[in-house]
């Protein structure tokens, strides 16, 4: 089976969708302009989608105070320092900036609504490992 999307209940899906389009290169696949403002966002591969909505309104998780390791959206970044600076100028806040011994560079930010966003430049790209695995299958 293939994963279609990952869904998040958020406080302002329309504004959040616009920010992700403008700043992270996602594109809106489908959007409901009326409550619950369900919006499907796809990455540039067209294979990974995130759904955001406001339903039920009183059960939006407290993203701002949650440990970012509980839930975060991770994006491949060719230059995490440049992307970090650009996103902070666009309203994100820096949480952490790590260089791992395997050559990976991981930057954790929070978007303007508090949801954790990670920028990943892996020493060995994980998506390439997945593709290699599937290409090796009979």
- DSSP type of residue 117: E
Residues 52 and 100 both lie in one domain: no
Contact (CB, 8 A) for 41 and 6:
no
Is position 95 within any domain? yes
Kindly report the CATH number assigned to the domain that includes residue 78. Answer: 3.10.180.10
Residues 73 and 91 both lie in one domain: yes
Contact (CB, 8 A) for 50 and 72:
no
Q: How far is it, in rounded angstroms, from Cα 77 to Cα 24?
A: 10
Q: What is the reported pTM?
A: 0.90
Is position 62 within any domain? no
Task: Read off φ and ψ for residue 53, nearest 5 degrees.
Answer: -165, 170
* Residue-by-residue pLDDT tens, the chain, 138 positions: 888 999 999 999 999 999 999 999 999 999 999 999 999 999 999 989 999 999 999 999 999 999 999 999 999 999 999 999 999 999 999 999 999 999 999 999 999 999 999 999 999 887 666 565 556 666
Residues 48 and 89 both lie in one domain: no
Domain count, the chain: 2
């Amino acid at each position: 089976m293939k994963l279609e999307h990952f869904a998040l209940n958020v406080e302002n899906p329309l504004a959040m969708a616009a920010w992700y389009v403008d700043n992270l290169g996602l594109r809106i696949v489908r959007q409901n302009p009326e409550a619950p403002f369900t919006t499907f966002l796809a990455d540039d591969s067209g294979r990974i989608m995130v759904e955001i909505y406001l339903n039920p309104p009183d059960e939006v998780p407290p993203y701002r105070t949650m440990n970012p390791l509980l839930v975060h959206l991770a994006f491949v970044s060719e230059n995490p320092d440049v992307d970090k600076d650009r996103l902070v100028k666009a309203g994100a806040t820096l949480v952490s900036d790590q260089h791992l011994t395997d050559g990976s560079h991981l930057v954790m930010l929070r978007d303007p609504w508090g949801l954790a966003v990670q920028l990943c430049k892996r020493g060995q790209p994980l998506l390439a490992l997945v593709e290699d695995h599937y290409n090796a299958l009979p």
